């Protein structure tokens, strides 16, 4: 896959006239079309639901678009629950997949009628005590050494999440006695994974487990959630996961392991984030400075507070210098931000066209786990989010923070008391 952008330099300059860089820019039409592709691929699956992982892009305008397309919300915190509620996503359209959860978050999730997905067997008693047991409950499974995870998420047996297999069996029996009537099963073992067979293996593993749970406890699982984790082609040459292949293989496993065993109908659900919005958002920035010492640097007006993935995981994000798309990539730069951290680099030793201060640099695939991971270290202010509407209008969907926002939690007046 070659990496292109749906914006020309002239179009972007027009946007920048009104909205100063840096900002994240999302493409509504592309998000909608992608959402429809996923739903169409899984149209065969009874009651199929994608609960968009709110943590990926926690902006109400994005959530509303996805709600209109038929998605629910996967929330992992109180703030995400409130965000979903404000957008109008409530009841079983919310999946609450949290861990180390405080009591008040369970209370809020229960109030909203969300599907509560417990991360640990000890949370059964905790939930019962603080919020009361809902009619439906889901458990998160950690397969431990049975699966290898992948680079970003790590080994399941070293991950803090989920129940062991033995705890699952015990847990379903416990909640059955507490009056729970409907049951779900969830896992998430990969992150940013481009191999569809890894996600298919997760489906097969859960389908097998559903039979085992039924045989051991008599509990019939009503829905499975395969988690998030489908990757996107961040690098040129990588390909998106083939949703039709994914769907076809999951359907084959569903028929063999669920229908043939008399365990249907089983609702199939997911909580993808990155794959839903990642490719359809970018970080737009301007070059402030160039610096030539032992290496050549270009310095942007964005920094890792706007997009942390390269600094955090050494992740690759493609970079386009607008207006220079066809220039030879005959210069090599470290593309840096202004944070006092040496790993504040969007790219290291990247071959790019010659860059000069004032150039507009667009960092691709920042539509998920991008702005969302922002932070205020070094007094960096979180930047704006913009939405390109299908009619060509550009809407500000989150304003940039101001210094007043940054200082809002401090009381300077009582300094001398
Ligand atoms: C529990 C859970 N579900 C879903 C997601 C979304 O993952 P992705 O954006 O990779 O699809 C995450 C990501 O951190 C997660 O922790």
303 is catalytic: no
Q: What whole-number distance in Å separates Cα of residue 50 and Cα of residue 167?
A: 27
Report the residue among 271, 277, 365, 368 best suited for mutation to probe ligand 1: largest number of ligand atoms under 8 A from its CB.
271
pTM (2 d.p.): 0.96
Residues 6+ apart with CB under 8 A from 256: none
Give the percent of the chain with pLDDT over 70.
Answer: 99
Average pLDDT over residues 157-163: 85
User: What's the CATH class of domain 42-272?
Assistant: alpha beta
CA dihedral 233, 305, 387, 229 (to 10 degrees): 40
- 415 appears as a binding residue in the annotation: no
By CB atoms closer than 10 A (0-12, 13-18, 19+), residue 340 is exposed
Domain positions in the chain are: 42-272, 279-407
Nearest-atom index, ligand 1, CA of 273 = 9
- Dihedral of CA 147/152/154/160: which sign? negative
The pLDDT value recorded for residue 153 is 65
The whole-chain average pLDDT of the chain stands at: 96
pLDDT band of residue 145 (cuts 50, 70, 90) is confident
Examine the pLDDT at 148 and tell me if it is beyond 80.
Answer: no
Domain 279-407: assigned CATH number: 2.40.37.10
108: which DSSP letter?
Answer: H
Of the listed ranges 36-50, 133-147, 271-285, the one predicted with least confidence: 133-147
Please report the atom of ligand 1 found closest to the CA of residue 76: 1
Question: pLDDT tens digits for 352-411?
Answer: 999 999 999 999 999 999 999 999 999 999 999 999 999 999 999 999 999 999 999 999
Q: Is 229 assigned to a binding site?
A: yes
Measure 161 CA to ligand 1 centroid, in angstroms: 12
Between CA 155 and CA 342, with CA 311 as vertex, the angle to 5 degrees is 135
Distance CA 40, CA 200 (A): 18
pLDDT band for position 336 (cuts 50, 70, 90): very high
Is 350 annotated to bind a ligand? Reply is: no
Reduced to 3 states (helix: H, G, I; strand: E, B; else coil), residue 222 is coil
So what's the pLDDT on residue 155?
A: 79
* pLDDT surpasses 90 at 24: yes
Query: Is pLDDT above 90 for 134?
Result: yes
| Contact present, 20 and 277 (Cβ < 8 Å) | no
Tell me which of 31, 101, 232, 273 to substitute to probe ligand 1's pocket, judged by most ligand atoms within 8 Å of the beta carbon.
273
Spatial neighbors of 89 by CB under 8 A, at least 6 apart, are 63, 67, 72, 73
Measure the N-to-C terminal CA separation of the chain; round to a whole number of Å: 62
Q: Does the pLDDT value for residue 156 go beyond 90? A: no
Q: How many angstroms separate the CA atoms of 336 and 348, rounded? A: 9
Among left, alpha and beta (phi > 0; psi -120 to 50; other), residue 183 is beta
The stretch 22-40 carries a mean pLDDT of 98
- The answer to whether the CB of 93 falls within 8 A of the CB of 72 is yes
Tell me if 249 is assigned to a ligand binding site: no
Helix/strand/coil for 40? helix
Give mean pLDDT, residues 300-315.
97
Query: Which residue's CA is minimally distant from atom 10 of ligand 1?
Result: 229
Determine whether 294 is exposed, middle or buried from the number of CB atoms within 10 Å of its CB (0-12, 13-18, 19+).
exposed
For residue 307, the CA-to-ligand 1 centroid distance in Å is 17
Average pLDDT over residues 30-39: 98
Query: Judging by DSSP bridges, how do beta strands 115-118 and 394-398 pair with one another?
Result: unpaired
| HSE toward the beta carbon, residue 407, CA cutoff 13 A | 6
Average pLDDT over residues 224-247: 97
**Residue whose CA is at the smallest distance from ligand 1 atom 4:** 228
pLDDT band at 158 (very low <50, low <70, confident <90, very high): confident
Q: What are phi and psi of 223, to 5 degrees?
A: -145, 150
pLDDT-based confidence at residue 159 (cuts at 50, 70, 90):
confident
Is 149 a residue whose pLDDT tops 70?
Answer: no
Strands (E), 5-135: 23-27, 49-53, 72-75, 94-97, 115-118
Name the residue at shortest CA distance from atom 7 of ligand 1. Answer: 228
When pLDDT is cut at 50, 70 and 90, the band that residue 52 belongs to is: very high
How many CB atoms neighbour CB 305 within 10 A? 25
DSSP code for 257? I
Q: How far apart are CA 320 and CA 56, in angstroms?
A: 23
**Which residues form the pocket of ligand 1, taking CB atoms under 6 Å from any ligand atom?**
53, 55-56, 74, 97, 188, 191-192, 227-230, 271-275, 368
The residues near 79 (Cβ < 8 Å, ≥ 6 apart) are 58
Residue 294 has pLDDT above 80, yes or no: yes
Q: Distance (Å, rounded) from C-alpha 302 to C-alpha 314?
A: 17
> In this model, does residue 47 exceed pLDDT 70?
yes
For residue 194, the CA-to-ligand 1 centroid distance in Å is 14
Residue nearest to atom 5 of ligand 1 (CA): 228
Whether 313 has a binding-site annotation, put simply, is yes
Nearest to 302 by CA among 22, 74, 29, 111: 22
- Mean pLDDT, residues 74-81 taken together: 98
CA of 329 to the centre of ligand 1 (A): 35
């Amino acid at each position: 896959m070659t990496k292109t952008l749906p914006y020309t330099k002239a179009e972007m300059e027009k946007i920048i006239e009104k909205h100063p860089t840096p900002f994240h820019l999302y493409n509504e039409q592309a998000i909608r079309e992608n959402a429809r592709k996923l739903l169409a691929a899984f149209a065969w699956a009874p009651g199929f639901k994608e609960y968009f992982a709110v943590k990926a892009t926690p902006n109400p305008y994005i959530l509303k678009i996805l709600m209109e397309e038929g998605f629910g919300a996967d929330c992992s915190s109180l703030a995400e629950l409130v965000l979903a509620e404000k957008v109008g996503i409530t009841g079983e359209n919310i999946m609450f997949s949290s861990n180390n959860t405080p009591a008040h978050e369970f209370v809020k999730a229960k109030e909203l009628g969300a599907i509560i997905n417990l991360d640990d067997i000890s949370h059964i008693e905790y939930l019962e005590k603080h919020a009361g047991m809902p009619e439906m409950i889901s458990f998160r499974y950690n397969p431990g050494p049975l699966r290898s995870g992948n680079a970003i998420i790590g080994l399941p047996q070293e991950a803090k999440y989920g129940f062991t297999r033995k705890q699952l069996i015990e847990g379903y029996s416990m909640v059955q006695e507490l009056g729970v009537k409907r049951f779900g099963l969830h896992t998430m073992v990969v992150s940013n994974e481009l191999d569809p067979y890894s996600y298919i293996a997760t489906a097969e593993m859960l389908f097998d487990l559903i039979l085992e749970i039924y045989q051991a406890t008599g509990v019939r699982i009503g829905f499975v959630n395969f988690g998030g984790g489908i990757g996107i082609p961040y690098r040129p040459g990588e390909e998106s996961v083939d949703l039709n292949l994914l769907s076809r293989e999951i359907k084959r496993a569903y028929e063999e392991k669920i229908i043939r065993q008399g365990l249907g109908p089983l609702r199939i659900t997911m909580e993808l984030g990155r794959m839903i919005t990642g490719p359809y958002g970018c970080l737009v920035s301007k070059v402030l400075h160039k610096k030539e010492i032992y290496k050549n640097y270009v310095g942007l007006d964005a920094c890792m507070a706007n997009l942390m993935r390269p600094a955090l995981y050494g992740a690759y994000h493609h970079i386009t210098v607008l207006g220079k798309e066809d220039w030879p990539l005959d210069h090599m730069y470290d593309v840096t931000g202004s944070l006092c951290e040496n790993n504040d680099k969007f790219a290291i030793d990247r071959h790019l066209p010659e860059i000069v201060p004032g150039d507009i640099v667009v960092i691709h695939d920042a539509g998920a786990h991008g702005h969302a991971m922002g932070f205020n270290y070094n007094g960096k202010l979180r930047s704006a989010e913009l939405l390109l509407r299908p009619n060509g209008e550009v809407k500000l969907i989150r304003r940039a923070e101001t210094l007043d926002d940054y200082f809002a939690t401090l009381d300077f007046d009582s300094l001398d008391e």
